[in-house]
Amino acid sequence: MTKLPKLLVQTILILAIVLTGHHVSAEEVVPISEINTSPANFDGKEVKLRGVARSPTRLPLINLKSYILEDKSGEIMVLTEADLPKMNEEITIRARVKSLAIVKGEALGLTVTELERYEQQLSI
């Protein structure tokens, strides 16, 4: 009888390690080029992106705000309901990737919507 609880504890520990490891990898920053080259792989998923904010756009009549996020691998337009970020400063965001349609692996109407913006850590 003592083997069953020990086996159960080991199984729970293994599951905890596997699940924690998966969670950590989901928190990694995704290069923008990966989304641009394989949008079907990211459709409907949340990603973490890091880059420099550029080209702000605000259309008050339809309450649309967007900016371009650029990293070393490429750039992508980000829609936001929050205040526009400071331009030319590096930011990190959590965003959802969606496409209106995917035809033969090509995304039509690819949108990246900011869900959360993280404070940048200043190194001293």
Predicted model pTM? 0.72
Tell whether 46 and 6 lie within a shared domain: no
Q: Is residue 97 domain-shared with residue 60, that is, in the same domain?
A: yes
CA 35/CA 38 separation, integer angstroms: 5
47 and 89 inside one domain:
yes
40 and 24 together in one domain: no
Q: How many separate domains does the chain show?
A: 2
Which residues span the domain enclosing 16?
1-28
Pair type for strands 101-103 and 106-108: antiparallel
In a domain, 124, yes or no: no
Residues 22 and 37 in one domain: no
The pLDDT tens digits along the chain (124 residues) read: 445 566 555 556 555 444 444 333 446 899 999 999 888 889 999 999 999 999 999 988 888 899 999 999 999 999 999 999 999 999 999 999 998 887 876 777 888 999 999 866 554 4
Helix (H/G/I), strand (E/B), else coil: 122 = coil
